[in-house]
Structure 1
Amino acid sequence: MVGIVIASHGGFAKGILQSGNMIFGQQENVQAVTFMPNEGPDDLHQHLQDAVTQLENETEVLFLVDLWGGSPFNQANTLFEEHKDHWAIVTGLNLPMLIEAYASRMSMDSAQEIAAHVLKEAQAGIKLRPESLAQQAAKNSNATVSATVKEGKPGKMEYVLARIDSRLLHGQVATSWSKSVKPNRIIVVSDAVAKDELRKKLLVQAAPVGIKVHVIPVKQMIKIAQDDQHFGGQRALLLFETPQDALRAIEGGVPLTTLNIGSMAHSAGKVQPNKVLAFNQDDIDTFQKLAQLDVQFDVRKVPNDSPDNMQSILNKAQAELDKQK
């Protein structure tokens, strides 16, 4: 029997597992994985690995995930890369999808066959009342497609958001920020990631619908910022993995006046003054250099959060580092 892993932000996976059992009966060979606010990508990766090992059949595994481009998808996708001949991932998890997956296991032995089958049922499960709203939604969708920005217009690129986030492209970026600032391109600016073909591939695959994702080194971003002939009409959301990359880009001429600070992962030698930001001395010094360049810091995970005071966070981090000396 094909194994199923349900994965989501928060407790949704466990909730929909319970709902599915109420409707279709208790199921075997199914695991629910939740990604909680106090956890990081490595925790989620381990949860998914553990879930797969608890399945009776690790050869045929179907991941049903809440959101394309979110952390559950991204981490499942890293596992999928080594099993792409047999495993499958379907995003947009809803109850019709889950129930159809349960039913399909009774007659289908392939995760990929089930994935292709449940997609149609999941889409058919989305309906509107009054019915006239569906017709209007279809018209709006067609209008959006026809209004897609073409490349090659004279002018410079517009930067709608520049964010430092060690997780780069994940749910908060793919949904909350993308819907708020409406980019038509997400550009990951990182020398390290640009050299890593697997990470590049996974990031491009995680692109939100209707938005192109590019991964480029810092020097190329600087070159693009100086080009006033080919990027008119382009609304770019820039993602930096580290403050050092952001500083190099700004010193090189990328015209950023504000940096959104999302997350900086903890590692050896770093202190963590709050739940999502960790610093070593080089990080603190880099932010001070950015401040000297009159760069403003917008410390928020998502648009609806109230901004935190970056200088207070840096002062706390510096005090903790000084204690370690």
Structure 2
Amino acid sequence: MVNIVNVRIDERLIHGQVAAYWTNNLNVTRLMVIDDLASQDEIQKMALKMACPSTVKLSILSVDRAVERLNDPTAYEGERVFIVLRGTETLEKVIEKGAPIKNITVGNMSNKVGSTRVYHTVCVTQDDIRRFRELADKGITFTAQMVPSDEPQNFIDLIAKL
């Protein structure tokens, strides 16, 4: 079983908070970016490699390849894996395809047309809310937390207030 130390939704994928605070706080040895577009885009892959701390290994995988690797008991043996996804659509696919993920930290989801601010820099659309609720009904837990020093908030409770 892959040792997943955190799964985070963050549209920015790898950036200062992820690269500095989260990887250090969680003692991460591998960052896994799950994103179909980024896995096929050489420029995005280069930017993600530059943003990743030099002490941390990096995997940039499509949804299908990520689920395959996460379900391989010999993959990433002895590593502490931190998964970063761009949004709820990718998360939903990863869960539906059988990734062993039960707890998700919700980070940055930018403001867009039709979205509502829920928490700091987390803005959700009606589609996001539907996905969060459906996944929560399947036993997935969601926590809103920008940086490790912030008090974790129950994200489903936050969207229930909308």
Q: TM-score, normalised by structure 1?
A: 0.48
Residue identity matched to 2:26: V
The residue matched to 2:84 in structure 1 has which SS? strand
- Aligned residue for 1:262? 107
Q: Could you report, residue by residue, the CA deviation over 1:100-140 in whole angstroms, capped at 9, with x for unpaired residues?
A: xxxxxxxxxxxxxxxxxxxxxxxxxxxxxxxxxxxxxxxxx
Residue identity matched to 1:209: S
| Cα distance in 2, alignment partners of residues 237 and 231 from structure 1 | 11
The residue matched to 2:119 in structure 1 has which SS? coil
Q: What RMSD, in angstroms, separates the aligned Cα atoms of the two structures?
A: 1.5
- Aligned residue for 2:131? 286
- Aligned residue for 1:175? 20
Q: Report how far residue 192 of structure 1 moved.
A: 2.0
Q: Report how far residue 193 of structure 1 moved.
A: 1.8
Structure scoring higher RCO (CA < 8 A, sep ≥ 6) equals: 2
Gaps of 5+ in 1: 1-155, 318-325
Q: Quick check: which one's helix share is greater? A: 1
CA contact (8 A) 2:14 2:51 kept: yes
Matches within 5 A, 1:172-321: 172-317=17-162
Gaps of 5+ in 2: none
Once the two structures are aligned, what percentage of the paired residues are identical? Answer: 29
Q: TM-score, normalised by structure 2?
A: 0.92
| Cα distance in 1, alignment partners of residues 74 and 58 from structure 2 | 21
Q: Quick check: which one's strand share is greater? A: 2
| Cα distance in 2, alignment partners of residues 195 and 221 from structure 1 | 13
| Cα distance in 2, alignment partners of residues 205 and 256 from structure 1 | 27
| Cα distance in 1, alignment partners of residues 75 and 106 from structure 2 | 29
Matches within 5 A, 1:39-58: none
Which structure 1 residue ranges, 4+ long, deviate > 3 Å from structure 2? Answer: none
Q: Report how far residue 292 of structure 1 moved.
A: 1.1
- Aligned residue for 1:164? 9
Q: Report how far residue 158 of structure 1 moved.
A: 0.9
| Cα distance in 2, alignment partners of residues 275 and 311 from structure 1 | 15
